[in-house]
């Protein structure tokens, strides 16, 4: 096995035709020129794997050509990858197939490969009994089918094709049949970006694109809970979901359930992580504990962290606490806990009219700092970000947090101390 792909000129077609001609005519129709292009093991003497460029093809089992761009996609079986070449045979890139939907173990049995008009790449995994679906850059979008003998199940899917109606044909060898799968409801989730890490108070959006005529209905979810439109959520029943003025409480996975004539489909999930601006942490830190930290964070907000998985509200707090609580119905619970701990600096929206503010801020806070304007953010890569959806406020509970606010000379705003222990509400 020489592990290469050969492109033959038009004259070489005689070789394949010869097998259907009488034996006496066979020899006269053999091509007399070699292939005009070879991908992979171009020296004709080696078959060594090479994971850094296109020369190391090992057991190429499938080839697909994008007729619009001329790109060639090769299912490089024993290397568990797809290699991509341009129309001139120049290696462009590769992407891994080690992301199986039914097993984290590479199968080493990827065979057929094809593409559709929507730019998706389909690869048959004959061992796992499924078809993996990728975008043109190699991002896994989803999987189709599973191992078995029932409808929509495969045993040794070895060859793929897409017809002019946008239907995927799967040759299921050990089931002795061809499965015809409508792609009208196949979902490609496009997050902006795919997995977002954004600051508190900014905006996040997720959208999907669908191939086929529909009609489609949509239901966005956070985790397994259905979302509905409210002042900070728009498009819960449309193709695009938008979250405004996000808080750390919005951290989680988002997916959409789509209903179409072909059935109900659930998209892959996209992770959203919402973080406190690092400037605030750098100015007023260091802190001993962040009890409501994101599960994944590119920078530390404190020495120790509790996440939503730990239920930081119920844990024991120690030392100087940084608290940027989830904005919403439970904000008051977090502020009440800050008042109880009395060694805490909290960041919330400056909504002094709320019940939580009346109960847990005015009677207990040592000082306040109203940040000038709207907080400006930057993304984790250093690029400028957006601004918060409302004015922000820092609340100092206890002496140490009060000193951090009082000594601030970096962030502009108005400092207020000697707060009233009781506040009488009424008309002037």
Contact 121, 154 (CB under 8 A): no
The candidate with the shortest Cα–Cα distance to 138, out of 171, 115, 170, 163, is: 115
Mean pLDDT to the nearest integer, 91-120: 73
The candidate with the shortest Cα–Cα distance to 261, out of 212, 220, 226, is: 212
3-class SS of residue 263: strand
Q: Considering the chain, what is the average pLDDT of its residues?
A: 77
Asked if residue 364 has pLDDT above 90, the reply is yes
pLDDT, residue 235, reads 95
CATH class assigned to 188-274: mainly beta
pLDDT, residue 237, reads 96
Of 200-209, 307-316, 365-374, 399-408, which gets the smallest average pLDDT? 200-209
97 token code pair: 């197939």
pLDDT, residue 25, reads 37
pLDDT tens column, 326-350: 777 788 999 999 999 999 999 998 8
Asked if residue 100 has pLDDT above 60, the reply is no
Beta bridge partners of 75: 62, 82
Grade residue 16 by pLDDT with cuts at 50, 70 and 90. very low
Q: Can you spell out the DSSP letters for 29-44?
A: GS--S--SEEEE-TTS
Most confident among 31-45, 166-180, 220-234, 285-299 (mean pLDDT): 220-234
Of 98-102, 274-278, 385-389, which gets the smallest average pLDDT? 98-102
Give the span between the Cα atoms of 339 and 290, in whole angstroms: 15
Of 278-282, 301-305, 356-360, which gets the smallest average pLDDT? 278-282
Of 223-237, 327-341, 375-389, 398-412, which gets the smallest average pLDDT? 375-389
Mean pLDDT to the nearest integer, 156-184: 83
Grade residue 426 by pLDDT with cuts at 50, 70 and 90. very low
pLDDT, residue 242, reads 92
**pLDDT higher at 238 or 100:** 238
Grade residue 394 by pLDDT with cuts at 50, 70 and 90. very high
pLDDT, residue 294, reads 76
Predicted TM-score (pTM) of this structure: 0.43
Q: Quick check: bond before 304 cis, omega within 30?
A: no
Asked if residue 428 has pLDDT above 50, the reply is no
3-class SS of residue 246: coil
Of 181-195, 217-231, 312-326, 352-366, which gets the smallest average pLDDT? 181-195
Domain ranges in the chain are 4-185, 188-274, 276-417
The CATH T-level fold of domain 4-185 is Thrombin, subunit H (2.40.10)
pLDDT, residue 8, reads 46
Asked if residue 148 has pLDDT above 90, the reply is no
């Amino acid at each position: 096995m020489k592990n290469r792909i050969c492109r033959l000129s038009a004259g070489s077609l005689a070789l394949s035709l010869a097998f259907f001609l009488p034996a006496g005519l066979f020899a006269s129709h053999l091509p007399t020129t070699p292939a005009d292009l070879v991908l992979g093991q171009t020296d004709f003497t080696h078959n060594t794997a090479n994971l850094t460029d296109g020369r190391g093809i090992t057991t190429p089992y499938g080839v697909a050509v994008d007729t619009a761009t001329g790109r060639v996609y090769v299912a490089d079986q024993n290397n568990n990858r797809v290699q991509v070449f341009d129309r001139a045979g120049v290696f462009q890139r590769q992407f891994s197939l080690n992301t199986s939907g039914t097993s984290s173990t590479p199968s080493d049995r990827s065979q057929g490969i094809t593409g559709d008009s929507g730019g998706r790449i389909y690869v048959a995994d004959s061992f796992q009994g499924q078809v993996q679906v990728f975008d043109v850059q190699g991002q896994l979008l989803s999987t189709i089918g599973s191992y078995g003998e029932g409808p929509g199940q495969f045993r040794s899917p070895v060859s793929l094709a897409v017809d002019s109606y946008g239907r995927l044909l799967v040759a299921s060898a050990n089931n002795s049949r061809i499965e015809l799968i409508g792609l009208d409801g196949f979902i490609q989730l496009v997050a902006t970006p795919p997995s977002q890490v954004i600051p508190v108070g900014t905006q996040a959006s997720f959208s999907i694109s669908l191939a086929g005529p529909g009609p489609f209905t949509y239901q966005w979810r956070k985790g397994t809970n259905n979302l509905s439109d409210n002042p900070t959520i728009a498009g819960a029943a449309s193709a695009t979901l938008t979250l405004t003025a996000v808080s750390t409480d919005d951290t989680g996975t988002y997916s959409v359930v789509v209903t179409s004539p072909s059935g109900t489909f659930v998209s892959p999930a996209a992770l959203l992580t919402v973080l406190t601006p690092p400037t605030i942490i750098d100015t007023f830190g260091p802190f001993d504990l962040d009890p409501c930290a994101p599960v994944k964070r590119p920078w530390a907000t404190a020495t120790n962290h509790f996440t939503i998985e730990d239920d930081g509200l119920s844990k024991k707090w120690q030392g100087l606490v940084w608290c940027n609580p989830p904005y919403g119905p439970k904000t008051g619970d977090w502020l009440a806990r800050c008042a109880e701990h009395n060694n805490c600096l909290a960041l919330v929206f400056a909504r002094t009219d709320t019940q939580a503010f009346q109960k847990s801020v005015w009677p207990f806070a040592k000082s306040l700092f109203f940040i000038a304007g709207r907080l400006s953010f930057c993304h984790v890569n250093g690029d400028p970000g957006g601004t918060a959806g409302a004015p922000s406020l820092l609340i100092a509970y206890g002496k140490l947090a009060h000193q951090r606010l009082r000594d601030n000379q970096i962030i502009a705003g108005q400092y207020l101390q000697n707060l009233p222990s009781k506040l009488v509400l009424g008309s002037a």
